[in-house]
Amino acid sequence: MKKLIYFVITLCAAGLAASAVMAQQGLPPDQKLRIAEMIVADYYVDTVNQEKLVETAIKSMLEELDPHSSYSNPEETKELNEPLQGNFSGIGITFNMNRDTLYVIQTVSGGPSEKVGIMAGDRIIMVNDTSIAGVKMKNSDIMKRLRGPKGTKVDVKVLRRAAGASDTIDFRITRADIPIYSVDAAYMADPITGYIRINRFAAETGEEFAKAVKELRRKGMQQLILDLTDNGGGYLNAAVELLGEILEPGQKAVYTEGRQSPRYDFRAQPKGKNSLLGNDRLVVMVNQNSASASEITSGAIQDWDRGVIVGRRSFGKGLVQRPFPFPDGSMMRLTVAHYYTPTGRDIQKPYKQGEGSEYRKDILDRFHSGELMHADSIKYVDSLKVNTLKSGRIIYGGGGISPDLFVPLDTTAFTKYYRDVVAKGALNQYVVGYVDANRKALKKKYKSDDDFVKNFTVTPEMFEALYQTAKAEGVEPNPEQAEISKPLFELNIKGLIGRDLFEQSTFYKVFNIYDPIFKEALRVINSDEYDSILNGNSN
């Protein structure tokens, strides 16, 4: 083989002769690719970056396949894996960038920053010897400076405002492992209904879910709303583990099958003798951005008549990617199989190989076709009709999980003015400034987030201050559109203030008051319609 490659390259100066030799030898495609790369590296008129050349070839090759096979360089691979692995090493803060300044929203309880005395409202203006304030540094570049190996130290300079004055304080922080939580919120929506929101399916999701369920049980939970809206998925095993606490022990949760991947059935296995939810009522919230592991979860629950699915048809990502890591830390994620729900429904929506751009337009196409606003715009194919495994009610395959109760996308309050205010960062900037100026007074007035959610009101003066902040950022005033978007401004102002004062759950306590999918979920879980749907008697 070495002699062959040498012979081909030697003849490369005479291009026609080289081509003739390759044709005569009948080179396999993989050898042809390697030889082509060597020829370019040795004979191209200018110096080439071989590493970049190879990466481009891999990416181009994968683009000819399905929309989910992909390549990531070492840095991208690390960024992809961190949210799913459940932790990273850093200083333990949640922050916003406000006018090119890092503003601390919260410190992680028990984390490195809290231990040295950094507080919500502090502004980190320097990391080691590098100024990060007022220099328009990317968030990713700032995180690189704050994160690092466990046990290493980082010096930060903080600007703290208190009692009308400002002071700078130097801190030395020892980095530690910081947990990344996949449960955004867990609270009691009413005296008997718990609510849990999961943002991704990561390594610790099953454990987080179990902990949340047990805590809500102590508060009186007898039924659960599980929010998977905008959850793009994650680990298959995390979804199966969660289903172990929802389905009956031994029930099929999902199965995978591919050309070189024999069928494999994943079954529900609770950590204890029985599942944590038992026979409690369950409603699952999904939308067009719920994908992959979210669809495995909601699909299994629907197939087994275990709960009611509320919202809009999910994304339709049912391809299994197997990671193939390279020694340099880069990784290729290659599709090797399909996900199927227990009834045999293929979760993956249709696609054409090599047409990724068309595939990525699918959600926009759904919007233009009216599917996101009208249930009767969803096109079902009779040949893809199946029956659920207990009551035998009719459900459909064809890509994504279609809800039992459709909730239209509400765009009535969305305007160009609202979009521009958010896009320019004016909303976030106003909230940061408001909390900064009123934190002590707000904490004194509202003793808990429940008190805040119940009693805090966004005043006309606050709306006007927001509009003035937007104007200063170059967003032209539009009183008519501002009035139309007032509900959206109100929920975001209140929700973000609540999050900055208390915790992430506070935002969802506010947001869900307005959210049509949540309101429908809460309605149906407390009505006789719940049993009617699962028994196949609904119209």
Q: What is the CA radius of gyration of the chain?
A: 27
* Residue given tokens 């199966």 in the structure block: 240
Neighbour tally for 513: CB within 10 Å: 13
Q: Which two tokens stand for residue 137?
A: 């540094």
Which among 517, 327, 304 has a CA at the least distance from the CA of 391?
A: 304
To the query of whether residue 317 is one of the catalytic residues in this protein, the response is yes
Distance from C-alpha of 369 to C-alpha of 378, rounded to nearest angstrom: 9
Q: HSE on the CB side for 28, CA within 13 Å?
A: 3
Nearest to 366 by CA among 318, 320, 315: 315
Number of neighbouring beta carbons within 10 Å of residue 528: 8
Looking at residue 327, its amino acid is P
Instruction: Supply 439's token pair.
Output: 């934190």
Residue type, 415: T
Which residue of the set 292, 314, 348, 485 is catalytic? 292
Tokens matching residue 278: 């038992």
H/E element holding 292? Answer: none
Q: Read off the amino acid at residue 293.
A: A
- Residues facing residue 249 across a β-bridge: none
H-only helix segments in 44-147: 50-63, 74-85, 112-116, 139-146
DSSP states along 448-517: SHHHHHHH----HHHHHHHHHHHHHTT----HHHHHHTHHHHHHHHHHHHHHHHS-HHHHHHHHHHH-HH
The set of residues, in sequence order, having a beta carbon less than 8 Å from that of 28 and lying 6+ positions away, is: none
With 0-12 / 13-18 / 19 or more C-beta atoms within 10 angstroms meaning exposed / middle / buried, residue 224 is: buried
Query: How distant is the alpha carbon of residue 358 from its chain centre?
Result: 22
* Contact predicate 498/435, CB 8 Å: no
- Give one DSSP letter per residue of 416-449, joined into a string: HHHHHHHHTTHHHHHHHHHHHHHHHHHHHH-SSH
- 3-class state of residue 13 by DSSP: helix
From 106, 113, 314, 321, active-site residue: 321
Active-site residue among 157, 252, 317, 494? 317
Are 492 and 500 spatial neighbours (Cβ–Cβ below 8 Å)? no
Distance CA 477, CA 298 (A): 43
**Pick from 308, 311, 291, 316: nearest CA to 239:** 291
Q: Is 321 a catalytic residue?
A: yes
In contact, 231 and 114? CB cutoff 8 Å: no
Q: Rounded to an integer, what distance in angstroms lies between the CA atom of residue 411 and that of residue 372?
A: 10
Active-site residues: which are they?
A: 292, 317, 321
